[in-house]
Amino acid sequence: MNIEQTSLEGVIIIKHDVYEDQRGFFKETYQKNKFDEIGIKYDFVQDNFSFSNKNVIRGLHFQKSKPQGKLVWCPYGKVLDVVLDINPSSKTFGKHISVELESNIPLSIWVPPGYAHGFAVLSDRAMFCYKCTDFYNPDDEFGVRWNDKDLKIDWGINDPIISSKDDSFPSLKEYYNL
């Protein structure tokens, strides 16, 4: 397993070891001891799975008072994963990273608590998985508008499919009354 630090503090891209033969391949997506060694010392309490069609954008989501850290990967299809720094005291506040995740490339992303997260489906269909460090609480869920003009996120999609909830979130500046 190799790790790559990103421009956002604590956000890590993880390249997993893959073992291939004539049957296909095997990769280990999580082992507590190995993740402890690279500084991801969290207990995961919930696993989530989504299946989405092409051009779907989900995000940018976060929980306000009980932020979730997320270990994310794409076991089927291809997505553009986006992580946004929403901490106003951070030197990278309002900055984001985008990483393509796809089933035949053994990458995961560690998104520490306190970041907003979302993804766009680039293939015909995609499955997306993530382990969370805290429980989902619908009363604590919030988000930043996916097409906030100040964020300049290129989702790689011309005609996005967005939920009404995701389309109603404020811009980052509106959220913080800036």
* Residue 107, preceding peptide bond in cis (omega within 30° of 0): no
Catalytic residue among 61, 96, 115, 175: 61
Q: Is 130 a catalytic residue?
A: yes
CA angle 54, 56, 58 (to 5 degrees): 145
CA distance 65 to 32: 25
What do you get for the CA distance between the two ends of the chain, in Å?
A: 41
CA distance 35 to 42: 9
Catalytic residue among 42, 115, 130, 175: 130
Q: Is 61 a catalytic residue?
A: yes
* 47 and 130 Cβ atoms separated by less than 8 Å: yes
- Which residues participate in catalysis according to the annotation? 61, 130
